[in-house]
Amino acid sequence: MSEKKINSLLHTFCTVCISLTLSFFLNTEQVVAAETLTNHLGCQANQWELWEHYKKQFLQEDGRIIDYATPIEHSTSEGQSYGMMFSLIHNDPENFQRIWNWTLANLFDNDLNNNLPAWQWGKKADNTWGVVDFNSASDADLWFAYALLEAGRIWKNKTYTTQGLQMINLIEKREFIDLPGFGKMISTGYIKKASLNKTKWSLNPSYYPLPLLRRIAAERNNLQWDEIVANVPRVIREGSPKKFPADWIYYKLNDGDIPEFYFDQTRGQKSSFDAIRVYLWAGVTHPDDPLRKDILLSISGIINAITIKGYVPEKIDAFTGEIINNAYSPFGFSAAVAPYFYAIGRKETAQSQVSRANWMIKKSQSPENANTNRLRYYDYSLSLFGLGFTEGFYRFNLNGFLETSWMHNNCAKFNVTYQ
For the annotated catalytic residues, the residue numbers are 78, 139
Residues 278/408, Cβ–Cβ less than 8 Å: no
Q: 220-232 burial, b if ≥16 CB within 10 A, otherwise e?
A: eeeeebbebbbbb
Beta strands in 36-103 (DSSP E): 75-76
> In the chain, what is the greatest distance between 2 CA atoms, to the nearest angstrom?
85
- Is residue 245 a contact partner of residue 278, using CB atoms and an 8 Å limit? yes
- Quick check: helix, strand or coil at residue 213? helix
Instruction: Report how far residue 323's alpha carbon sits from residue 153's, in angstroms, rounded to the nearest whole number.
Output: 44
The amino acid at 294: D
Residues whose CB is less than 8 angstroms from the CB of residue 130 and which lie 6 or more positions away in sequence, other chains included: 106, 121, 124
User: Among residues 273, 368, 385, which one has the least CA distance to residue 330?
Assistant: 273
Cα(218)–Cα(32) distance, integer angstroms: 24
Contact 74, 120 (CB under 8 A): yes
3-class SS letters over 268-334: ECEECCCCHHHHHHHHHCCCCCCCHHHHHHHCCCHHHHCCCCCCCCCEEECCCCCEEECCCCCHHHH
- Residue pair 308/326 in contact (Cβ under 8 Å)? The answer is yes
Q: Are 346 and 279 in contact (CB under 8 A)?
A: no
Burial, 2: exposed, middle or buried (Cβ in 10 Å; 0-12, 13-18, 19+)? Answer: exposed
The arrangement of strands across the sheet holding 315-317 comes to 270-271, 315-317, 323-325
